[in-house]
Amino acid sequence: MLHRYPKRVTFLLLAGLALLIAYPAWGPALFGESSAFFMEKLTLMLIFALFAVSLDLLVGILGLVSLGHALFFGLGAYTLAMASPDFSPASLWWMLPLVMLVTGAVAAIVGVLVLRTKGIFFIMTTLAFGQMLFYTVSTSSMTGGTDGVFIMFRPSLAMGETPLVDLDNPLTFFYFCLALLVAVYLILRALTRSHFGQVLDGIHDNEHRMQALGYATTGYKLIAFVVSAMIAGVAGMLAAMQYGFANPAQLGWHHSGEVLMMVILGGMGTIFGPILGAFAYELLLYFYEHLTNHWPILMGMTIIVAVLVLPRGIAGLLLDPPGRKTSLFGPWSAARDAQQAERVASASQASAGKSAGEVSS
Amino acid sequence: MDLAFFGVQLLNGLQYGLLLFLIASGLTLIFGIMGIINLAHGAMYMIGAYLAFDLTQRLGNFWLAILIAVPIAVILGLVIERLFLDTLYKRDHLYQVLLTFGLILVLNEAQRIIWGGDVHSVALPAPFDGSIALTDNLQYPVYRLFVAAVCLALAGAIYWVIRHTRLGIVIRAGAVNREMVEGLGINIRTLFTLIFSVGVALSAFAGMMAAPLSSITPGMGDSILITCFVVVVIGGIGSIKGAFFGALLIGMAETFGPVLIPSLASMLIYLIMALVLLIKPRGLFA
């Protein structure tokens, strides 16, 4: 984990942020009548970015590949849908903590089980737990079966009787999501730089060594798992607010696969990468959907090509542009393995050369 | 539940479990030996079923269709392995998951383009299209028994190959120490291609066998994939024996669950999996 990014990354992120904040200025000029539609698209991208960032904490920082992260996203959506009163808006003051509590509690239970496993078992068990909730929700009449649940009123954010932020206004909601994403990004950046983050990084590299150093690694992993699930739950809640419903597809494993793709496309382990990945993925999806009815085939091919030629994602290109030889940045095992092999090879070459030199002299 | 009904359910569970084994054995072999997690395994099951449907329609004979469909599945597996997986052996599981996830999207959509989104079915093939009488008013289709017998025979064949042939020795050795096997002069690349093609073909073959039993639908591969994951996790990844008993257990749970405990049926197999993980995190036979 690199703790200081090159200036160009910071610059790019700030430029992106400024561009998003200024959307009301350039959106209508660029898109004309469909500017409101694109703002809703952007809002969804921000929500997916939040979701992808939460997964990066597991996949990129901790090295645990979860294929069931949509479980928590969907759980957040359903918590909102089920807990909302029928004829009046809920208050976000208690809805947000409730969503975090529910997703956190479920994540603690699931985490205790799945964190007993590693590697491929972790992938399979997270997948299976995700599907467990998927089938439960899609067969239960309480949660509306495969149709899902509609949310009649968006939660409101008010102080007493006076509304603070009008979340029903699309522009306000857009800014609200943007602010949440920035806040979560900053928190996670601080987290990865903290002692806690260093321990997670250590577990990623060598869990046995961390245990030998006296760290109760399972506890650390569980906390990271729960935090990650809570953020995903909040993202799911925001998505349900945006869509106006919660349905089983939001917690299906295809959704988990998609968000994993966002993380990889953006560049895992960087926190900012997955945000770029979410935007890139959704833009590609939008483009493909307009191109053909058979867009999944294009998306599938894009995923395959991205895996084969761009394993470090967009962030990899930014941090380590092609043409530069040395890399300081290597949370990717493949890249790291290659580096290590190179180092070992050059070291052994050097020592071989040295001994050969000794013989000849 | 009277005894005859119980018997029918037992047979159904056994037959379904054995079918699951065919799919799960490929999954577990591909992982255990090659270290590859293949999400597209379920899509191959679907392709097998559609191939059986399509070729039966064209040729008018189910058996002839299978005879042609199996080599097609093997070749498809071969192409996938050579084209995509070759570069993935040294990479993290993450990339295998993503690449095969991409493959699912491509295969599912290819299915839609070739065969459309309709639900199809295949007639029970002669001479197994009849039923035998279990009691005076209870019939059991012969084809189900035939499928069970074929699956059982294949399970035996897989066991025999792995335990008692030279190829089996190489496979088992390759699973333990790849470099050592290579060092002994065995071409592990060819072995991997073989394992992947056969594993994937087993899944497609299960789809073909299942075609006359169930409706053929576009998303059929996804649900079976998840079920097989549960089987493999319960049995222990890489263990053929584990896949066998795991598949029978899940087969029974899926048949008896809706009858005995309807409220829990949809999540029963996951509960079983959670229970197994609590007791043995690496699976029952690992």
A139 and A288 in a common domain = yes
pLDDT band, very low/low/confident/very high, at A55 (cuts 50, 70, 90):
very high
Is the Cβ pair B92, A131 closer than 8 Å? no
| Among candidates B84, B266, B273 on the partner chain, residue whose Cβ is nearest the Cβ of A128 | B273
Q: What is the pLDDT of residue A341?
A: 52
What's the rounded Cα separation, in Å, for the pair A308 and A303? Answer: 9
Minimal Cβ distance to B98: which of A132, A253, A307: A307
Position A329 confidence tier, pLDDT thresholds 50, 70, 90: very low
Q: What does the pLDDT average to over B65-92?
A: 89
* Both tokens assigned to B27: 């999954």
pLDDT higher than threshold 60 for residue B189:
yes
* Nearest Cα residue to A125 out of A69, A79, A74, A75: A69
pLDDT at A336 over 60: no
Whether the predicted pLDDT of A195 surpasses 80: yes
How many separate domains does chain B show?
Answer: 1
Residue A311 has pLDDT above 90, yes or no: no
pLDDT-based confidence at residue A361 (cuts at 50, 70, 90): very low
User: Which residues of chain B neighbour A124 with C-beta distances below 8 Å?
Assistant: 37, 229, 232-233, 237
* Record: contact A302-B277, CB cut-off 8 A: no
| Percent over 90 (pLDDT), chain B | 41
Average pLDDT, chain B: 88
H helices of chain A, where? 7-21, 23-31, 35-56, 70-83, 92-114, 119-139, 170-193, 195-205, 207-212, 217-243, 253-266, 272-291, 295-309, 313-319, 333-360
Q: Tell me, yes or no, whether B5 lies in a domain.
A: no
ipTM: 0.84
pLDDT at B249: 94
Give the Cα separation of A148 and A78 in Å (integer). 9
Range of the domain at B81: 12-218
What's the pLDDT tens digit per position in A120-176? 888 888 988 888 888 888 888 778 788 888 888 888 887 777 777 788 888 989 999
Percent share of chain A, pLDDT over 70: 88
Residue A238: which CATH number?
A: 1.10.3470
Q: Is the pLDDT of residue A56 over 50?
A: yes
Nearest CA in chain A to B36: A120
Task: Judge whether B3 lies within some domain.
Answer: no
pLDDT of residue A342: 52
Nearest to B237 among A120, A268, A304 (CB): A120
Kindly report the number of other CB atoms within 10 A of residue A326's CB atom: 7
Residue A200 lies in a domain: yes
My answer on whether A130 and A214 are in the same domain is: yes
Mean pLDDT within A31-60: 92
DSSP state of B115: H
User: Which runs of consecutive H residues, i.e. helices, occur in B35-137?
Assistant: 41-59, 62-83, 93-115
Q: What is the C-alpha to C-alpha distance for residues A54 and A51, in angstroms, rounded to an integer?
A: 5
Residues A210 and A241 in one domain: yes
Q: Which of A59, A67, A332 to mutate to test the interface with B (most CBs of B within 10 A)?
A: A67
User: B190: Cβ–Cβ under 8 A, 6 or more apart, which residues?
Assistant: none
Residues of B in contact with A259 (CB under 8 A): none
CA pair distance A16, A276, nearest whole angstrom: 10
**Mean pLDDT (whole number) for A25-39:** 85
Q: Are residues A65 and A99 in the same domain?
A: yes
Asked if B273 and A301 come within 8 Å (Cβ–Cβ), the reply is no
- Whether the bond between A163 and the residue before it is cis, its omega within 30 degrees of 0, is no
Q: Is residue A2 part of a domain?
A: no
Q: Is residue B131 part of a domain?
A: yes
Same domain, A69 and A98: yes
CA distance linking residue B274 with residue B281, whole number of Å: 9
- For A315, the token pair is 């962030």
Chain centre distance of CA A340: 28
- Kindly state whether residues A213 and A259 are assigned to the same domain: yes
pLDDT at A24: 86
Inside any domain, residue B150 = yes
Query: Amino acid identity of B17?
Result: G
- B214 in a domain, yes or no? yes
Q: Is residue B177 predicted with pLDDT exceeding 80? A: yes
**Minimal Cα–Cα distance from B128 to chain A, Å?**
34
Q: Does residue B260 belong to any structural domain of this protein?
A: no
Give Cβ neighbours of residue B25 (< 8 Å, ≥ 6 apart): B155, B158, B199, B202, B240, B243, B244
Residue A164: predicted pLDDT: 78
| Interchain CB distance below 8 Å, A128 and B267 | no
| Confidence (pLDDT) at A277 | 94
Mean pLDDT of chain A: 84
Same domain, A211 and A299: yes
Domain enclosing residue A344, as ranges: 332-361
Asked whether residue B143 carries a pLDDT value surpassing 60, the answer given is yes
Distance between CA atoms of residues A208 and A335, nearest Å: 22
In this predicted structure, the answer to whether residue A330 has a pLDDT above a threshold of 50 is no
Mean pLDDT, residues A43-69 taken together: 94
Shared domain for A183 and A200, answered yes or no, is yes
Q: What is the pLDDT of residue A309?
A: 87
**Which pLDDT score, from 0 to 100, does residue A241 have?**
92
Q: Is B193 left (phi over 0), alpha (psi -120 to 50) or beta?
A: alpha
A354: pLDDT strictly greater than 80: no
Which of A110-124, A224-238, A303-317, B225-239 is modeled with the greatest confidence? A224-238
| Residue A1 domain flag | no
Cβ–Cβ gap B233/A261 under 8 Å: no
By CA distance, what is B263's nearest residue in A? A140
pLDDT value, residue B1: 60
Closest to B15 in 3D by CA, of B212, B284, B259: B212
What is the phi-psi region of residue B158: left when phi exceeds 0, alpha when psi lies from -120 to 50, beta otherwise?
alpha
Chain A and chain B share a number of CB contacts under 8 A equal to 128
Q: How many domains does the structure of chain A reveal?
A: 2
Residues of A with CB under 8 A from a CB of B: 59, 65, 67, 113-114, 116-117, 119-121, 123-125, 127-129, 131-132, 135-136, 139, 253-254, 257, 260-261, 264, 268, 294, 296-297, 299-304, 306-308, 311, 332-334, 337
DSSP character at residue A35? H
**Is B37 within the bounds of a domain?**
yes
**Which of A69, A120, A146 best tests the B interface by mutation, with the highest count of B CBs <10 A?**
A120
